[in-house]
Amino acid sequence: MHRDRESEDALVAPVEPDETTVIATAEELIGQARESVDVCFAENSLRRRGVDGLLRALVDARGDAVRVRVLSARSAPGRDRFPEHLDHLAARACFDVRITRVPLADALFVDGRSALLIADTPIGPQASVTRGPGVVGALHTLFTAVWNGAAPAPGRIDWGEGARSEFVRRILDCLHAGMADELGARELSVSMRTYRRYVAEIMVALGANSRFQAGLRAAELGLLTRAGEAGVMPDGLRATGTAGDPPAGLAGSNGSFL
């Protein structure tokens, strides 16, 4: 009885690291959420689908009452996208996904007061539920710091194919290279007005507050051309078509490339 009571009151309780137990524990903690659920996933985490399903159920059941933030370590360049199976949550004010280059471990924070932590160790994966205010507070502060520097997952951005995708990537190359609008427009053989319109829409899509930040986020998310990633502008950086007109096929049905 003493051991059972001690286990219930423990600030750190070990959890079997197998996927079934981890997901069941995550479900129990998420069910206790009143204000917020913050999750971070390691690169190519095997637990993501299970936890994503719990988050979807939470938002569907509780609406915007609980804020949900998902932080993912960057996977292969160009593959970081808002998860398609959560696409219907993309417009919800309470739900947000960001991508970071910082290496992460799988972790779940509920209301900033309890945490499920999973870490790979030399003897295999280890998992635990932590309720110690000092430990949870410190770890959640680190989560918030990484979150603030992470880039929004560009799942709702449709770069398109062919000339459309290439044109947008070359604009991103110009932003990453720090080109002024006049020079970028001249390089792409489009009018200043057209170039600035696309830049403005790119900034909104990437959640950037400046051209410099848009260039950095494009690099972080693997959205540049190979030449742009290498820090040089490709030769013949010219879009097809006449000045003032975007490449054929660039405009969508609503007149925007997004």
157-206 pLDDT tens trace: 555 555 667 888 889 999 999 999 999 999 999 899 989 988 988 888 77
**Is residue 175 a contact partner of residue 215, using CB atoms and an 8 Å limit?**
yes
State the average pLDDT over residues 206-214: 85
For the chain, the straight-line distance linking the first and the last C-alpha, in angstroms and rounded, comes to: 61
Confidence at residue 248, expressed as pLDDT on a 0 to 100 scale: 46
Nearest to 74 by CA among 118, 53, 44, 115: 44
pLDDT exceeds 80 at position 51: yes
Whole-model pTM: value is: 0.62
Bridge partners of residue 121, in order along the sequence: 124
Question: Which spans in the chain are helix H?
Answer: 2-9, 19-31, 48-62, 133-149, 162-176, 181-188, 192-206, 211-220, 226-229
Backbone angles phi, psi at 83, to 5 degrees: -55, 125
Query: What is the per-residue pLDDT across 227-246, written as a single tens digit (0 to 9) for each?
Result: 555 554 444 333 334 444 55
Residue 139, token pair as written in the block: 């770890």
pLDDT over 90 for what percent of the chain? 38
Instruction: Give the amino acid at 187.
Output: E
State the average pLDDT over residues 123-147: 92
Q: Is the dihedral of CA 230, 232, 234, 238 positive or negative?
A: positive
